[in-house]
Amino acid sequence: MKTNTYAGIPKELGKLENAKIVLIPVPYDGTSTWQKGADKGPEAFLNASENMELYDIETETEVYKQGVYLADSVTENSSPETMVTAVHDITKKFIKKNKFVTIFGGEHSISIGTIRAFNECYNNLTVLQLDAHADLRKEYEGSSYNHACAVYEASQTMNLIQVGIRSMDSVETTVMDREKTYFAHEMVNDDSWMDTSIDQMTENVFITIDLDVFDPSIMPSTGTPEPGGLLWYETLEYLKQVFKEKNVVGFDIVELCPNKGDKSSDFLAAKLYYKMLSYKFQENEIEDDFDNHYEVTLKNNTKKFNEDDEY
């Protein structure tokens, strides 16, 4: 199925051995409750990426020169649980190859696998979730691998920070850490949430972005659009700050549910992904020789695995 490189970059820069960045598409839509279509998300995202300028004006960089390997899509979907295991295994495999690993969904249940993999590889992990929904149910419709349960495990075993939340069930209030939850209706009146939430993060941060965190006026193509979401520049300002102050170890972007009449959402997703890479690698100089080794800024031995370990 895979014929092209990510964003049409030169083949050399798309080879695993030349790439610091790995992109794993997960076209999974097994548990979504209302609008189906998140399985078409990666394809729409990749199409939009191919039509995007690769020079980032703000950072004055061309981050694709760090090399981006487009991995085979994870297509395991015989059950939510086996899908999560497959996502976990492949994510962990690439982390252990010292790549900066990114994942594009698919619905939010895929993040159960990505978050678990990063948590097994990095000490004291913070999970920063940008989402309209709390996703804190322990179980939903008979499964703990439902999109409504995406960050329950993170809430129990990691430092979870939730931003942009504006829809949840009362049962989730019993799981939620109110101090680390930033509701959209509060954020709109007080921008101190940016600094306060960053102060609550540990050094190592994994970011999971559910695209429904954005306002439907700029991101209509998502499974469950909710009014009152984040806008483009405030989101970028926040993410830029997180990348600057913390060691972002990887990220996933989920819930793009493409709509024939709306191409702008696909482009928003493509640009968001590229912006995040640009912020991550902003300080890295590109060397003449390909340097495939992505080095995390290690502070206090934050990686749990040996560099030479084979997974």
Q: Binding residues for Mn ion, per CB under 5 A?
A: 108, 131, 133, 135, 210
Listed residue (162, 150, 258) closest to 201, CA to CA: 162
User: At its nearest, how many Å lie between Mn ion and the CB of residue 33?
Assistant: 11
Nearer to Mn ion, 56 or 172 (CB): 172
Q: Which phi and psi (to 5°) does residue 262 adopt?
A: -135, 100
Nearer to Mn ion, 131 or 153 (CB): 131
Listed residue (121, 95, 107, 122) closest to 30, CA to CA: 107
User: At its nearest, how many Å lie between Mn ion and the CB of residue 179?
Assistant: 20
> What single DSSP character describes residue 198?
H
How many Å apart are CA 101 and CA 53, to the nearest integer? 22
How many Å apart are CA 262 and CA 258, to the nearest integer? 7
User: At its nearest, how many Å lie between Mn ion and the CB of residue 263?
Assistant: 23
Nearer to Mn ion, 196 or 224 (CB): 224
Nearer to Mn ion, 108 or 275 (CB): 108
Nearer to Mn ion, 133 or 275 (CB): 133
Torsion over CA: 222, 226, 227, 232 (sign): negative
The per-residue DSSP string of 156-189 comes to HHSEEEEEEE-B--GGGGGT--GGGEEEHHHHTT
User: At its nearest, how many Å lie between Mn ion and the CB of residue 150?
Assistant: 5
User: At its nearest, how many Å lie between Mn ion and the CB of residue 216?
Assistant: 15
